[in-house]
């Protein structure tokens, strides 16, 4: 479809907020998260889920974090570290809202949970919270996500957070090892409502 050059697709800057979701706290990624981000990006599950090659050394994550912060300032992405309030605020995972298009009211979500916090409900609760915040504060209409069809855990996270399965994109992604993956599409619409009520509680500000 031809590009509509009559529209301005630039986004206003986004101040990524700190959000509460029960025992979980979502805060913006920061420079001091370098070690956690390196552990995240070199986790075998994350390597399989991403198309990019994993970082070779921890210092590489400094640039990744700076790009994530810049994307928030550009209004195209928000990146949160999930902290566990029952575990001395240990870093428990990562949640990203990316490809934000406020003209069309659409964004894409992605999530990761560290090994010791898996099966804790962190991803489902935080995904619900971020989607609710995005609908309320960014005026989005649709938040979507994609997961490989051989990743049933990610599928359960998505459906648990109210993201309906919409179909499969065949051979739609190249993994970092060169193999190809089918992806299932999930989405939640603003009119679908939250799975846990008004869960997007902003902390401060």
Domain ranges (residues) in the chain: 19-202
When comparing pLDDT for 144 and 194, which is higher? 144
How much is the pLDDT for 204?
56
**Whether pLDDT at 33 is above 50:** yes
Calpha distance 36→22 (Å, rounded): 22
Indicate the pLDDT class of residue 34, thresholds 50, 70 and 90.
very high
How much is the pLDDT for 201?
57
Q: Which two tokens stand for residue 154?
A: 């990610």
Regarding the domain delimited by 19-202, which CATH topology (the fold level of the hierarchy) does it fall under?
Answer: Aminopeptidase (3.40.630)
In this prediction the pTM is 0.87
In this structure, the number of other CB atoms found within 10 A of the CB of residue 6 comes to 5
How much is the pLDDT for 199?
46
Calpha distance 63→154 (Å, rounded): 27
CB-based contacts of 6: which residues, under 8 Å, 6+ apart? none
> Mean pLDDT, to the nearest integer, of 70-97?
95
């Amino acid at each position: 479809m031809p590009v509509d050059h009559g529209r301005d697709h630039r986004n206003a800057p986004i101040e990524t907020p700190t959000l509460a979701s029960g025992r979980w706290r979502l805060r913006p990624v920061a420079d001091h998260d370098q070690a956690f981000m390196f552990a995240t990006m070199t986790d075998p599950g994350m390597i399989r889920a991403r198309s990019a090659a994993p970082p070779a050394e921890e210092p590489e994550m400094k640039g990744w974090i700076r790009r994530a912060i810049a994307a928030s300032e550009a209004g195209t992405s928000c990146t949160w570290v999930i902290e566990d309030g029952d575990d001395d605020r240990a870093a428990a995972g990562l949640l990203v809202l990316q490809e934000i298009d406020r003209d069309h009211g659409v964004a894409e979500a992605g999530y990761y949970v560290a090994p010791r916090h898996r099966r804790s409900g962190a991803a489902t609760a935080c995904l619900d919270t971020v989607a609710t915040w995005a609908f309320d504060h960014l005026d989005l209409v649709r938040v979507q996500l994609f997961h490989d069809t051989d990743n049933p855990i990610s599928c359960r996270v998505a459906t648990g957070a109210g993201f309906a399965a919409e179909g499969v994109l065949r051979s739609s992604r190249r993994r970092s090892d060169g193999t190809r993956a089918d992806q299932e599409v999930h989405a939640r619409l603003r009119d679908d409502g939250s799975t846990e009520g008004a869960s997007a509680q902003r902390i401060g500000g």
